[in-house]
Copies of this chain bind each other. A is one copy, B any other.
Amino acid sequence: MEPARPTSRTDDTSESRQEIIRAAAEVFMEFGYAASTIDAVADRLGATKGRIYHYYRSKAELYFDVQIAAMERLLAEIEPLARAEGSPAEKLRRMGLRHTEILLIDSATQKVAVQGLEKNLLAAKAARHVKTLRQIVRMRDEYEQLFAEVIDQGIRAGVFIDLPPRLATKPFFGTLNWVTVWFSPRKLQRPEDLTAIATTLTDYALRGILKEPLP
């Protein structure tokens, strides 16, 4: 009768929704938000519009759900690492490494989230989605904060370069996130290959932020 669970999605993993999110992520990644059609997402599912509009009320809502799914995974995986024991440099390394691995493994969903495509477009015409938009921004901010805090610890300890933490996160994330731009998932990349790329990038980012090089 009505779309199930309008905006709530906490622990709602109705399986069918997950499939839709995954298909939508691939299409959004390939064409961008505006150029992606609901029909294209449905095609990829071997279904029709009806299935999607049964769960989502609009294209924008679907797009937001992809973003939220991506951020939830990042937060769930990185937060424990941020709260773990270890020196700032060690912690930051583990966080950056895992962060990059997730970008590579989950590349469709993450590419959409990381590059924040069409943010402005949506901000323009979606006065109705302000609330969801705020939620996403808050999640992004919270995520960046995890890194900013560890970086702050490193700066205080005198082992990181002297910059405002929030500014220091920019080139750090830039080194890592740029992978979503140049990396294209080839025919069966082995997990080791992905880890190798992630390691190279993380080491690079760490050298940029450390005062003295790694031993």
List the interface of chain A (C-beta within 8 A of B): 30-35, 115-118, 120-121, 124, 161, 163, 167, 170-171, 173-179, 181-182, 200-201, 204-205, 207-213
A171 in contact with B204 (CB, 8 Å): yes
Chain B residue with the shortest CB-CB distance to A174: B178
Known A-B contacts A32-B34, A174-B177, A208-B175; the reply to A167 vs B116 at CB < 8 A is no
Tell me the number of copies of this protein: 2
Q: A161 to chain B: which residues have CB within 8 Å?
A: 204, 207
Chain B residue with the shortest CB-CB distance to A178: B174
Q: A173 to chain B: which residues have CB within 8 Å?
A: 178
**How close is A193's CB to chain B, nearest CB, in angstroms?**
12
30 A-B residue pairs with Cβ-Cβ distance under 8 Å, sorted by A, are A31-B120, A32-B117, A32-B121, A33-B34, A33-B35, A34-B34, A34-B35, A35-B118, A115-B115, A170-B178, A170-B179, A170-B201, A171-B175, A171-B178, A171-B204, A171-B205, A174-B174, A174-B175, A174-B176, A174-B178, A174-B179, A174-B181, A174-B201, A175-B175, A175-B208, A205-B208, A207-B208, A207-B209, A207-B210, A208-B208
A115 in contact with B181 (CB, 8 Å): yes
Q: A176 to chain B: which residues have CB within 8 Å?
A: 174
Q: A204 to chain B: which residues have CB within 8 Å?
A: 161, 171, 208-209
- Given B31, B35, B116, B121, which contacts A30 in the complex, CB threshold below 8 Å? B121
